[in-house]
């Protein structure tokens, strides 16, 4: 569930950034050269499609933020549970010695004879 909410939240954020970059500060943006086809309520008034989609995406971001916060609050696992602060030090691993490698400290034979 948290993965789904996170993906929806990230996609909504990316969409909102793209819509904010498309729009002009006066509300026109790329859609200012178009006529009534970009308006939601027709040529006489209403908000453009970009403005309406911006509002929808901002509400979606708000809802996903609240849902993610509630989901993490109800989660029983803490972020610190898997960390090194609990005294669980990683066990050092040594690489396995291969059979063809000479033991440590043994002279290395040269094939230049």
Q: pLDDT tens digit string along 62-94?
A: 999 999 999 888 777 666 666 555 565 566 677
Cα torsion 71, 73, 74, 79 to 10°: value is 90
Q: Is residue 51 part of a domain?
A: yes
For the chain, the domain total comes to: 1
Q: What is the pLDDT of residue 4?
A: 92
Q: Which among 16-20, 25-29, 95-99, 109-113 has the top mean pLDDT?
A: 16-20
Q: Is residue 28 part of a domain?
A: no
Alpha-carbon distance of 33 to 31, in angstroms, equals: 6
Contact assessment for residue 57 and residue 19, using Cβ atoms and an 8 Å cutoff:
yes
Q: Is residue 65 part of a domain?
A: yes
Residue 51 CB contacts under 8 Å (≥ 6 apart), including other chains: 23, 27
pLDDT digits (tens, 9 = 90+) for 22-64: 876 665 555 555 554 555 555 545 567 888 898 999 999 999 9
Q: Is residue 81 part of a domain?
A: no
Dihedral of alpha carbons 42, 48, 49, 52, sign: negative
């Amino acid at each position: 569930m948290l993965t789904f909410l996170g993906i929806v939240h990230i996609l909504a954020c990316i969409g909102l950034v793209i819509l904010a970059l498309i729009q002009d500060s006066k509300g026109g943006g790329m859609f200012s050269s178009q006529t009534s086809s970009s308006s939601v309520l027709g040529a006489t008034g209403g908000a453009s499609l970009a403005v309406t989609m911006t509002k929808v995406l901002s509400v979606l971001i708000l809802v996903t933020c609240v849902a993610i916060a509630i989901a993490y609050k109800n989660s029983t696992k803490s972020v610190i549970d898997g960390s090194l602060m609990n005294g669980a030090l990683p066990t050092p691993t040594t690489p396995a010695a291969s059979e063809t490698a000479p033991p440590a400290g043994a002279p290395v034979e040269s094939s230049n004879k």
